[in-house]
Amino acid sequence: MKNEVSLVLRTFTVTIRDERTGAESVDTITLSKEQLNAARLIHKTHVDLICWAFNREGYHVLHIEGPVKREIKADLTDLAAQVD
């Protein structure tokens, strides 16, 4: 039996600065469509959401590149079998 789930994701490449060391680096963050829609409900943008996520880890966001859309499909039965 197929028990497949599909996730629509957006991956952003982000340039960040570590507030503790001052070192700059490039990282990625992947957000689901649901997370982005939830942010919109409270009048926040993807930029607000990304900055919040990195700021709480001690990083300052310097630049955010446009998103890359991805769709991931997974069979839940297969995933559950891998855990057991």
pLDDT band at 84 (very low <50, low <70, confident <90, very high): confident
Query: pLDDT per residue over 2-59, tens digit each?
Result: 789 999 999 999 999 999 999 999 999 999 999 999 999 999 999 999 999 999 999 9
Which of 31, 30, 32, 22 lies closest to 58 in space, CA to CA?
Answer: 22
Which of 56, 50, 58, 55 lies closest to 28 in space, CA to CA?
Answer: 50
pTM above 0.85, yes or no: no
Q: Find the radius of gyration of the CA atoms of the chain.
A: 16
CA 50 distance to own-chain centroid: 8
**Alpha-carbon gap, residue 33 to 46, rounded angstroms:** 10
